[in-house]
Amino acid sequence: MLLASAVVVWEWLNEHGRWRPYSPAVSHHIEAVVRAGPRAGGSVVLGQVDSRLAPYIIDLQSMNQFRQDTGTLRPVRRNYYDPSSAPGKGVVWEWENDNGSWTPYDMEVGITIQHAYEKQHPWIDLTSIGFSYVIDFSTMGQINRQTQRQRRVRRRLDLIYPMVTGTLPKAQSWPASPGSAASPPGPPCSCPQCVLVMSVKAAVVSGSAGPLQPPAARKNMPPSGAVKMPPLPGPGAKPMDSTGTIRGPVKTAPSQPIRRQASSTAAGATAGSPASPPGANSKTGRVALATLNRTNLQRLAIAQSRVLIASGVPTVPVKNLNGSSPVNPALAGITGILMSAAGLPVCLTRPPKLVLHPPPVSKSEIKSIPGVSNTSRKTTKKQAKKGKTPEEVLKKYLQKVRHPPEEDCTICMERLTAPSGYKGPQPTVKPDLVGKLSRCGHIYHTYCLVAMYNNGNKDGSLQCPTCKTIYGVKTGTQPPGKMEYHLIPHSLPGHPDCKTIRIIYSIPPGIQGPEHPNPGKSFSARGFPRHCYLPDSEKGRKVLKLLLVAWDRRLIFAIGTSSTTGESDTVIWNEVHHKTEFGSNLTGHGYPDANYLDNVLAELAAQGISEDSTAQEKD
């Protein structure tokens, strides 16, 4: 035993091997179940405290979190931190992700940042704890030391994590103490998740018979877990080890490495993680499971789950242990918990593989596309037609309105009966003139339309700001590059009866022109060459021909800020979606997708490109 006080933070292990903290509210909820002992059932339904975590249940005996709709299991742990550190004060440090929402730092990182903040340091370099970032407190920004990319960070106050004082066990079993095991059982939770968990566990305990022996591997396993009491980072602090634990002067028990299998981890090997209480004569459900093989465990879970699943527990097909037939996700999760508790390897789901590219294709197998000339096309900047002023261009599309209606101009938001409210560079037309677009009939101040045209591409086209009707031929600001297209002898998922059209876009980095957001500044071109795929069907070839028109009009790409990486001044897609996955659809940019061709035709039409456009290009 160690005499100490600490804050308890419950954490889960993500796919990158990082321990991520649950929120203070969730940690309080889990801690309350732990302290309640067996009468609480040994399972924590996270949706009871956070509706966003409704699919998740934590099994305290196996120290695993499982997700009911997929059967995915992840190790969890109960970790201790210094009461004077960030979690002991309710301080949470977060960074802004690409979606504009906020993500908390790992607990050790947040503690390090908070310590520097309290010392009133102007910045802190996180390289010493394994992260290539600098936090600048003056700008509240995170700077990547390698790419110089910046993100916003913030410090906010939340609940203080649960506190424990007195004696901290080196390795804690569940239930936490013998006294709690003798306490009378309280009324069980009646939610479907708890009912399902308790039903299967009760069946395991009541159905066991004969002497119960733990597996030999368990008998010989050394004690797991070590109390982590990290001192605040600073002069004289011990360095972090590979798990991110700050080794301080507090003596800890040797830490048991996390035993990770290709599928599930049996127990969290960390500070204060509940360890199994195996013994030759123990009659707990945990050890009883050791006498059952995989088939019996599955059989038991199936038998105990059928009635509950039929009564309303939601079901979605996932793969079973052999990957050959569908089972219910609730059943998959329970089977995983039972097998993990018994120390058996679990592989409930086999994640699908991302297939970006087709199998290798030789040059002799690459063919031109029938009905489409050439196999590549280059584009350079096209100059707008000279000799026509904005007023002369708009005159082709506008009809004068002598008696404007009592409505607002949707560009300047002033009444059409009053002069334009536009305050920018002054066009040469009078501010009180009003015009109606000839095809769609929407009415604006002519002054406002001229200003809008001057702020655009000035290519002789105009797009109604209300209904998006395009007047003239719309062109974009795509930087120079090359588009290649050809046939390859492979079929796309969902299109087994035809070959595949492969499109390869190549755009090099360069300098922005006057039509771009930051003229004279360099722009990057990430991810090129970009490979895209269409089925070689009648509709697929139609889409290709229209994409060629869009390429010639410089509408496929633009220069702006990436929505996926947040990088500015880079080449981005320009509202015409492409399929970049050849043999899968994990990201939504692959096949099968029955509606894709129709959707991309609609997107091209919104850019003013239709079958009539191909005839215009020939003319």
Q: How far apart are the first and last CA of the chain?
A: 88
Residue 160 φ/ψ, nearest 5 degrees? -75, 135
pTM over 0.75: no
Residue 500 φ/ψ, nearest 5 degrees? -125, 135
How many CB atoms neighbour CB 27 within 10 A? 23
Residue 295: the pLDDT is 54
Total length of the chain: 619
Residue 135: the pLDDT is 94
Report how far apart, in Å, the C-alpha atoms of 493 and of each of 263, 313, 368 are: 28, 32, 22
How many CB atoms neighbour CB 155 within 10 A? 15
CB neighbour class for 215 (10 Å; exposed up to 12, middle 13-18, buried from 19)? middle
Residues of the chain with pLDDT under 50: 1, 3, 170-188, 192-193, 196-197, 201, 204-205, 207-290, 292, 294, 297, 300-329, 346-350, 383-385, 619
Task: Give the integer Cα–Cα distance in Å for 382 and 264.
Answer: 57
The reply to whether 475-616 shares the fold of 1-82 is no
The strand pairing partners of 470, in sequence order, are 463
Task: Give the integer Cα–Cα distance in Å for 453 and 449.
Answer: 6
- Closest alpha carbon to 163 in 61, 35, 284, 279: 35
Contacts of 41 (CB under 8 A, 6+ apart): 33, 188, 189, 194, 197, 198, 201
Could you write out the DSSP letters of every residue in 194-207? Answer: HHHHHHHHHHHHHH
CATH class of the domain comprising 475-616: alpha beta
CA 539 to chain centre: 33
Quickly tell me which residue has 């509940």 as its tokens. Answer: 274
Residue 94: the pLDDT is 94
Task: Give the integer Cα–Cα distance in Å for 242 and 513.
Answer: 48
Report how far apart, in Å, the C-alpha atoms of 364 and of each of 368, 489, 533 are: 11, 11, 19
Can you give the residue ranges of every domain in the chain? 1-82, 91-157, 390-471, 475-616
**Cβ-contact 46, 33 below 8 angstroms:** no
Amino acid found at 236 = G
Instruction: Please name the fold of domain 390-471.
Output: Herpes Virus-1 (3.30.40)
**Cβ-contact 508, 538 below 8 angstroms:** no
E strands of 211-250, at which residues?
none
Task: Give the integer Cα–Cα distance in Å for 117 and 338.
Answer: 45
Residue 27: the pLDDT is 93
What are the tokens at 318? Answer: 């996932």
Residue 169: the pLDDT is 52
Residue 308: the pLDDT is 39
Instruction: Please name the fold of domain 91-157.
Output: 3.30.720
Give the CA count within 13 Å in the CB-facing half-sphere of 259. 16
**Cβ-contact 558, 477 below 8 angstroms:** yes
Domain 1-82 has CATH 3.30.720.50: yes
Helix (H, G, I), strand (E, B) or coil at 126: helix
How many CB atoms neighbour CB 312 within 10 A? 8
What are the tokens at 464? Answer: 């109604």
